[in-house]
Amino acid sequence: MHFTVCGGCHIDRQLRLSAPPQPGRTNPASAIERLGGVATNIGCQLAGFGASVRLVSAQPPDNIAAIEARLADAGIDPWLAPLAGDPPGYTALLAPDGELLIGAAAMTLYEAVPASAIRPGLAGASGPLILDANFPVDTIVAIATECGAARSLFAAGTSIAKVGRVAAVLPSLDALVLNAGEAAALCGEAGPVDRMASALAAGLRGNGIVLVSDGADMAALASGGEVVTACPPRIRLVNANGAGDVMAARLFFDLEDRTDMALARRLDAALAAGADHAAGTRTET
């Protein structure tokens, strides 16, 4: 199994409060750092499933060696374009129960990534190409136009603020994973997850597949005029941050590995993977 992921790659910092937040006061917390970015999260999970993964992204020149070493440790083949700017990063403030209180994204570097900078990293890469929405819309469109005709093309919404960048490439996509807020942004209005998934799936190429999730509430998976729904497994939440990326990785992996899998089973497998991550348990192949 071979995949190429293209998009955000940076350091995630998570601060988890030890007690309910007290605004205006110093709050005790524990801290961890790890690789982050939607594309990177998906790539790390795919590598954990046993797939061969190349990650194509950009970093300031002084950061490249350190980030490449972290990616290699995660089982990923890194290709990072040198680009002048501040190192991208994301800081998540979590409640004691693992719910995200606020996330702060410092990612101006990604806004300056041209297609020409990362095109060499995509040359010769094999397998489906997975995009997030961190790069500028012109770059995303160029990548989809140049690569989408020759290989499967998957995408993840990334955020409500950025998901509109995916709209221009919907007809080139074979699979798309979104949360309910991102789906509403693309549809132009909020609605039931099954209705939004069906509407968006109709805009993908062929029998493209769309997954729309809504946290612990109902999720929907639509393809070829069919739609199924399910609720995620009930869990004791440890950390919800990144669960959607794990869910996307599970769906993308199964689309390549299990081509005859029923739609309902695909949804159940994706939701179970996201729930395992949120509960702090390991997701297996």
CB 229 within 8 A of CB 220: yes
- Residues 193-217 pLDDT 10s: 999 999 999 999 989 999 999 988 9
Whether 193 is covered by a domain: the verdict is yes
What average pLDDT does the segment 223-246 reach?
85
How would DSSP label each residue in 14-37?
EEEESSS--TTS---EEEEEEEES
Whether 285 is covered by a domain: the verdict is no
Whether 238 is covered by a domain: the verdict is yes
Whether 24 is covered by a domain: the verdict is no
Q: What percent of the chain has pLDDT over 70?
A: 96
Whether 25 is covered by a domain: the verdict is no
Whether 109 is covered by a domain: the verdict is yes
What residues contact residue 52 under an 8 Å CB cut-off, 6+ apart?
Answer: 1, 2, 3, 77, 127
Residue 76: strand, helix, or coil: strand
Is 70 exceeded by the pLDDT of residue 282? no
Is 60 exceeded by the pLDDT of residue 82? yes
pLDDT category at 285 given cuts 50, 70, 90 is very low
pLDDT category at 235 given cuts 50, 70, 90 is confident
Which stretch of DSSP H or E encloses residue 248?
helix 243-257
The closest of 199, 169, 172 to 183, measured between CA atoms, is 199
Tokens 């960048």 locate to: 165
Query: Which pair of structure tokens corresponds to residue 26?
Result: 């110093």
What average pLDDT does the segment 135-144 reach?
96
Whether 76 is covered by a domain: the verdict is yes
What residues contact residue 128 under an 8 Å CB cut-off, 6+ apart?
Answer: 3, 4, 151, 152, 153, 154, 174, 252, 255, 256
Residue 135: strand, helix, or coil: coil
* Residues of the domain holding 68: 2-18+30-279
Tokens 């991208």 locate to: 88
- Residues 13-72 pLDDT 10s: 989 999 999 999 999 999 989 899 999 999 999 999 999 999 999 999 999 999 999 999
Whether 10 is covered by a domain: the verdict is yes
Phi, psi of 51 (to 5 degrees): -80, 155
Number of independent structural domains in the chain: 1
- What CATH number should be reported for the domain holding residue 46? 3.40.1190.20
Residue 4: strand, helix, or coil: strand
pLDDT at 284: 43
